């Protein structure tokens, strides 16, 4: 009789252990679905399922700089930022003229050229501020395609290799540094 009771108790104990593990896994995964890490964000952006888009942005306490950065940051990255600004300005200036369109050539050193076209209205020309052209993601909404003027931010750098307390993060790679 004692053996039968012990066997029944063992079976009940095993069933309880099995279900407690199941409930633990269920509730821990349920809470993790609300958090977004950078890999999950990149996966969502690449697959671009409209139901899964998250509004990701920088803190409002972070200062955004548009000015010359040669004294604070890497000179080659600052040169690239300045060239992107120049290309944006050329694009805006070209698009403001009637029957002129800016031909986008992002891979080129000059950025593009202003050419004759049959388009009169500026609304029908390329969007110079688009993140696909010369604009950068808005710091308040990093997944918005309508960008703003190129910028950089300074974040604290705790790296033992760095000689500075801060590192410069440029707008074209701000998502990699979140």
Assigned token pair, 5: 């009771």
User: What is the model's pLDDT at position 14?
Assistant: 84
118 by Cβ neighbours in 10 Å (0-12 / 13-18 / 19+) ranks as exposed
pLDDT at 177: 61
The list of the chain residues with pLDDT below 70 reads 22-38, 40-59, 106-110, 157-165, 175-178
**Cβ burial, residue 69 (10 Å; 0-12/13-18/19+):** buried
pTM greater than 0.85 (yes/no): no
pLDDT reported for residue 62:
78
Number of H helices, E strands in the chain: 3, 5
First to last CA, the chain: 64
Q: Which residues sit opposite 148 in a β-bridge? A: 136
Instruction: Look at residues 28, 46, 29, 30 and name the one whose alpha carbon lies nearest to residue 38.
Output: 46
Q: How many CA atoms lie within 13 A of 64 on its CB side?
A: 15
- 3-state secondary structure (DSSP) of residue 156: strand
Domain boundaries, the chain: 2-35, 61-177
User: Could you report the per-residue pLDDT of 85-123, keeping only the tens digit for each?
Assistant: 888 899 889 888 888 888 877 666 667 888 888 887 777
Is residue 42 helix, strand or coil?
A: helix
């Amino acid at each position: 009789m004692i053996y039968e009771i012990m066997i029944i108790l063992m079976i009940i104990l095993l069933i309880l252990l099995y279900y407690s593990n199941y409930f633990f896994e269920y509730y821990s995964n349920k809470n993790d679905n609300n958090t977004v890490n950078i890999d999950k964000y990149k996966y969502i952006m690449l697959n671009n399922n409209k139901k899964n888009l998250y509004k990701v942005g920088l803190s409002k306490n972070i200062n955004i700089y548009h000015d010359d950065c040669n004294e604070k940051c890497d000179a080659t990255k600052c040169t690239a930022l300045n060239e992107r600004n120049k290309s944006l300005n050329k694009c805006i200036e070209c698009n403001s003229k009637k029957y002129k369109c800016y031909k986008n050539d992002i891979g080129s050193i000059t950025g593009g050229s202003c050419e004759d076209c049959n388009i009169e209205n500026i609304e029908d020309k390329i969007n110079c501020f688009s993140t696909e052209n010369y604009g950068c993601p808005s710091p308040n909404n990093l997944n918005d395609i309508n960008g703003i003027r190129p910028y950089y931010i300074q974040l604290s750098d705790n790296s033992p290799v760095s000689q500075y307390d801060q590192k410069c993060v440029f707008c074209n790679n701000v998502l990699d540094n979140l």
